Amino acid sequence: MPAAIEFFFDFSSPYGYLASTRIEDIAARHGRTVNWHPVLLGAVFRITGGAPLVSVPLKGDYSTRDMARCARLLGVPFKLPGKFPIATQAAARLTVWAQQADTEAAKSLAGALYRAYFAEDRDISDPEVCAEVAVACGYERAQALAGLNDSAVKDRLRAEVDEAVARKVFGSPYFIVDGEPFWGADRLDHVERWLATGGW
Amino acid sequence: MPAAIEFFFDFSSPYGYLASTRIEDIAARHGRTVNWHPVLLGAVFRITGGAPLVSVPLKGDYSTRDMARCARLLGVPFKLPGKFPIATQAAARLTVWAQQADTEAAKSLAGALYRAYFAEDRDISDPEVCAEVAVACGYERAQALAGLNDSAVKDRLRAEVDEAVARKVFGSPYFIVDGEPFWGADRLDHVERWLATGGW
């Protein structure tokens, strides 16, 4: 069976959100599955000296425009949230918790969390908001809240972030396809071509 | 007559080099012309806090790989130069000088300077190397050297860089199409679609 595509993303990453709406279709067209890895880019930025895009002079204004333009092109609802960027521990932990029971259902939950934040301007840094999203996806509210506060889940997320850094993930979205790294929603066309051709 | 595409680039920018091999064809397909603007990103990075890509931890290694991969995909010769990045005053001034006589010929010269650096690993931070490239493009060696040392040419380049900053250019390549900004070689597909559709 061909290897899964590794998909790393931060819930505060607009381009991660855009990529999340495309990666499963791309993978399916080439008989692949996708492993979703929520990560915390704050930890990565401490190593790379990176900063959230929109806080960078000049580049920030451009990026805000580009995100919306890319979303319109893809037909994906998008609105830069009022509170941006945010801490994404709650959303990432909830996703990791959900993955323990069912990785496919956890993808739907992750997609719903992304939409809540980037299409509906709901503050998913708040565990209560995360729990509401989980309920709409069919999870039990109390279980979801207990899950994202569970110390084993926290440890699991920390291990995931450490592993991402070890694999040199420095941004979101970040993909690994048969060992080949691709960074950015604008590399999805290359991802698809790599899958189709086996590389160049 | 439809407005020209504004194309800003730094001679030390690998993605600027890649874009320079595509932009004229894209413009021609849509009945447009292109104004080439060599700029000095060092001046811009002092404002944005930016840094040359390859010097950023993790991102640097990835970028080196991505540049070569993009070049292979485009069928463009590419080799990360031994000395990288470089100061690009000499190449930019030579181009500005050549533009005064003939903007189309200056594009060929700019393309040759880019190829000298990114395909042949010749150090175009050296005015003598720039002059050699100019000679191969049909310019007189003494005139080219005098041109790139001319204080009026230096002033003109400074004014170009100031204007680029005023237009919020923060990276290379950077395009403005009918007032719409696009940053990065990986936005050329959007540039082409914008030209074809009038925007979205």
Report which of B145, B156, B195 is spatially closest to residue B29, judged by C-alpha positions.
Answer: B195
Q: What is the pLDDT of residue B46?
A: 77
Structure tokens at B21: 């091999």
Structure tokens at B42: 């060092």
Structure tokens, B102: 């003939």
Residues B176, B181, B184: CA angle, nearest 5 degrees: 95
Which residues face B38 on adjacent strands?
Answer: B9
* Nearest-angstrom CA–CA distance, A157 and A138: 22
Q: How would you label B30-66 residue by residue, b for 16+ Cβ within 10 Å and e otherwise?
A: eebebebbbbbbbebeeebebebbbebebbbebbeeb
| Residue B121 CB contacts under 8 Å (≥ 6 apart), including other chains | B79, B81, B82
Q: How many Cβ atoms from other residues are within 10 Å of residue A5's Cβ?
A: 23
The share of chain B scoring above pLDDT 90, in percent, equals 88
Q: Please give the Cα distance from A189 to B3 (Å, whole number).
A: 29
CA–CA dist A176, A166 (Å, integer) = 13
Give the pLDDT confidence score for residue B43 in this predicted structure.
76
Residues of A in contact with B73 (CB under 8 A): 190, 193, 200
Q: What residues in chain B have their Cβ under 8 A from chain A's Cβ atoms?
A: 44, 47-50, 56-59, 61-62, 65-66, 69-70, 72-73, 168-171, 181-184, 186-187, 189-190, 193, 200
E strands of chain A, at which residues? 5-9, 34-38, 174-177, 180-183
pLDDT digits (tens, 9 = 90+) for A122-170: 999 999 999 999 999 999 999 999 999 999 999 999 999 999 999 999 9
Mean pLDDT of chain B, nearest integer: 95
Model confidence at A57, pLDDT cuts 50, 70, 90, reads confident
Q: What is the mean pLDDT of residues B76-101?
A: 96
Above 90 in pLDDT, residue A44? no
Whether the predicted pLDDT of B28 surpasses 80: yes
Q: Measured between alpha carbons, how far is A15 from A106 in angstroms, rounded to an integer? A: 20
Interaxial angle between packed helices B188-197 and A59-74, expressed in degrees from 0 to 180 and rounded to the nearest 10: 60
The partner residue sitting opposite B49, judged by closest CB among A56, A61, A189, is A56
- Under the banding of pLDDT at 50, 70 and 90, the label for residue A56 is confident
Give burial (CB, 10 Å; 0-12/13-18/19+) of A167: middle
Q: What is the mean pLDDT of residues B18-37?
A: 98
Distance CA B194, CA B197 (A): 5
Mean pLDDT of A64-85: 96
B6-26: burial string, b at 16+ Cβ within 10 Å, e else: bbbbbbbbbbbbbbbbbbbeb
Q: What is the pLDDT confidence band of residue A43, given thresholds at 50, 70 and 90?
A: confident
Facing B48 at nearest CB: one of A44, A56, A200: A56
Over chain A, what is the mean pLDDT? 95
Beta-carbon contacts of residue B184 (< 8 Å; ≥ 6 apart): A186, B15, B171, B173
Kindly report whether the peptide bond that precedes residue A85 is cis, defined as omega within 30 degrees of 0. Answer: yes
What residues of A are in the B interface, CB distance below 8 Å?
44, 47-50, 56-59, 61-62, 65-66, 69-70, 72-73, 168-171, 181, 183-184, 186-187, 189-190, 193, 200
Average pLDDT, stretch A31-37?
98
**What pLDDT, on a 0 to 100 scale, did the predictor assign at position B60?**
86
Sheet of B5-9, strand order: B34-38, B5-9, B174-177, B180-183
- Give the mean pLDDT of A94-113: 98
Q: Which of A56, A62, A177 to mutate to test the interface with B (most CBs of B within 10 A)?
A: A62
A28 is written with which tokens? 């399916």
pTM of the model: 0.94
Q: What is the pLDDT of residues B45-74, one digit of tens each?
A: 777 666 777 777 788 889 999 999 999 999
What percent of chain A lies above the pLDDT cut of 90?
88
Return the pLDDT at A195.
Answer: 98
Number of residues assigned to chain A: 200
Q: Which residue of B lies nearest to A66 if distances are taken between CA atoms? A: B182
How far lies A28's CA from each of A21, A23, A31, A34, A198, in Å? 13, 9, 5, 9, 16
Total residue length of chain B: 200
- The bridge status of strand B5-9 relative to strand B34-38 is parallel
pLDDT in tens, B126-164: 999 999 999 999 999 999 999 999 999 999 999 999 999
Q: What is the mean pLDDT of residues A119-124?
A: 98
Residues of chain A contacting B193 with CB distance shorter than 8 Å: 73
